[in-house]
Amino acid sequence: MSEELLRQQAIAGTIGVTGARRHIFLCCDQTTPKCCDRERSLAAWDFLKRRLKELGLSDGGGILRTKANCLRICEGGPIAVVYPEGTWYRACDPPVLVASSEEIVNKLGWKPTYPGLEEIIATAWEWHKKHPLGYE
Ligand code: FES
């Protein structure tokens, strides 16, 4: 086996290629930002990296991450796709990247517009009563 191949295998082992269960591609640091501005995509990337590390999911923890220059959706970003499922995500800002709503509130200070399900349903019902034909 060549020296180069051995070095590549060692690097692959360090970043967890062989044990990866998922691979997240995030449109980030784009040459021509279209789906969101570059700073927003970099904030999402920094948060994703930190969050995966906090959860022990990076560097051999089972989740690989890659910056994608453009995923060709080019609207509503940051855009992400997760393999092997091939599930696509839009607006991947830190609140979307956090799995727990409690952590969103505690770590990011995010406050929901409507704090509970009853308020969400009540305001949606009021809107539908005023707009029986929806957006026209
Ligand atoms: S610029 Fe983000 S998907 Fe194209």
Q: Which of 82, 85, 104, 84 is nearest to 93 (CA)?
A: 104
pTM over 0.75: no
Digit-coded pLDDT (tens) for 32-81:
999 999 999 999 999 999 988 888 888 888 889 999 999 999 999 999 99
Digit-coded pLDDT (tens) for 76-129:
999 999 999 898 999 999 888 876 666 666 665 667 777 777 887 888 889 889
Domains of the chain: 3-97 (3.40.30.10), 99-136 (no CATH)
- CA–centroid distance, 88 to ligand 1, in Å, is 13
Q: Bridge partners of 58?
A: none
DSSP state of 19: T
- CA–centroid distance, 26 to ligand 1, in Å, is 9
Q: For ligand 1, pick from 31, 41, 45, 73 the residue to mutate: most ligand atoms within 8 Å of CB.
A: 73
Exposure string for 94-130, b = 16+ CB within 10 A, e = fewer: bbebbeeeeebeeeeeeeeeeeeeeeeeeeeeeeeee
